Amino acid sequence: MTDNKVLSSDEYNFWVKLAAFAASGAALLLVSLKLYAWFATGASSMLASATDSMLDLFASLMNVVILRFALAPADDEHKFGHGKAESLAGLIQAAFVLGSGILLLINGVDRFINPKIIEQSEVGIIVTLIAIAVTLALVILQKHVIQKTASLAISADSMHYQSDLLLNVGVLLALYLSQGIWLRADGLFTILVGAYLLWGAGSIMWLSVQHLMDHQLTEEEQQQILAIALKHRKALGVHDLRTRQAGQQRFIQFHLELDDNLPLFEAHAIGEEIENELLEKLAPCEVFIHHDPVSSVGDDVERVLNPNAEQTN
């Protein structure tokens, strides 16, 4: 759920870019540490963790590039803006999560079948504790940004690093248990985290596809739109409400039913009042209102009527 305060475009851009750059920096640090630990320990779980972080780094850098395009304002060739690029970023992120999960499964199965004692496990433990601290700080920042912006791309990116927290905890346990207590722990934890990543990738892909396919706004948001439109006492009804979202931008259109005898100037003023309130409550958004004389609305149209409407004499 996002904060009740509506962010301006500049505020939205600031928070999303901050999260994207922070993720890239954290991923670069984690890759360096985990590769060193893998060379020192030879642990399969550490190699899987390093591989996962390399994919995270590539995905986060891709996120920075795509978000720079997605946050660009509308232009002559993209009248509705570039918001769908953010959904595309989420889809690409999901692909990297999927690839990461598959790699973890392969490494985990191999080490589970061919277990061995891990050398210099203390190096791996120290590096993993540092990785947990860095990742936890990043996830907290991302959660704060998601709460403010509801950014799909940052949500997808955060999924990587939340999974990394589980992976790092698994690595700690594997490093401990593989010292002669239970050698197959190294492979088993890698397999479990790989399976979790596959599930997460499917969830992100589904959400990204829904946005790319112009999925309508939530039921709560649609009811809010209708309530605002029908709050005006001269609005007789609303029909054919259509909504969609691209990145942070919402698009709202509907037919507003007005009295047949209402002057055009007054009808236009009513529409502007409703539009301004929608822009205030659901910003950033674009609103398109079509004014209909109530007598022109067919009986087969699904309508939402205003029981408190005033009729013009």
CA pseudo-torsion sign 58, 203, 48, 133: positive
Mean per-residue pLDDT, 144-161: 80
The band of 219, judged by pLDDT with boundaries at 50, 70 and 90, is confident
pLDDT score recorded for residue 170 = 77
Domain limit, last residue, from 160, 191, 212: 212
Percentage of residues in the chain with pLDDT exceeding 70?
84
Is a pLDDT exceeding 70 seen at residue 86?
no
Please write the tens of the pLDDT for every residue from 51-70. 778 877 877 777 676 666 65
Domain tally for the chain? 2
Q: Do residues 124 and 271 share a domain?
A: no
In a domain, 4, yes or no: no
User: For residue 3, is pLDDT > 60?
Assistant: no
* pLDDT (average), residues 129-138: 93
Range of the domain at 90: 9-212
Q: Name the band, by pLDDT with cuts 50, 70 and 90, for residue 7.
A: low
177: domain CATH number is: 1.20.1510.10
End residue of a domain, out of 196, 212, 228: 212
**Position 181 in a domain:** yes
Q: Is residue 285 part of a domain?
A: yes
Residue 130 pLDDT more than 90?
yes
Highest mean pLDDT (candidates 157-166, 250-259, 300-309) = 250-259
Asked if the structure places residue 134 within a domain, the reply is: yes
Q: Are residues 19 and 136 in the same domain?
A: yes
Q: Is residue 311 part of a domain?
A: no
pLDDT at 91 exceeding the cut of 60: yes
Eight-state DSSP code of residue 298: -
Same domain, 163 and 55: yes
User: How much is the pTM?
Assistant: 0.56
**Span 149-178, average pLDDT:** 79
Please check whether residue 291 is in contact with residue 258, taking contact to mean a CB–CB distance below 8 angstroms. yes
User: How confident is the model at residue 79, as a pLDDT?
Assistant: 47
Residue 1 pLDDT more than 50? no
Higher pLDDT, 93 or 291: 291
Q: Are residues 196 and 288 in the same domain?
A: no
Average pLDDT over residues 4-26: 79
* pLDDT class of 75 with cuts at 50, 70, 90: low
CATH number at residue 254: 3.30.70.1350
Do 254 and 291 fall within a single domain?
yes
Residues 57 and 198 in one domain: yes
* Alpha-carbon separation of residue 137 from 23, 65, 131, 178 (angstroms): 10, 23, 10, 28
**pLDDT, the chain, mean:** 80
Last residue of a domain, one of 181, 212, 243: 212
Mean pLDDT of 242-268: 84
pLDDT at residue number 144: 92
DSSP per residue, 166-214: HHHHHHHHHHHHTTTT-TTHHHHHHHHHHHHHHHHHHHHHHHHHHHHTT
Q: Are 269 and 251 in contact (CB under 8 A)?
A: no
> Does a structural domain hold residue 312?
no
Asked if 228 and 208 sit in the same domain, the reply is no
Would you say residue 4 has pLDDT above 70? no
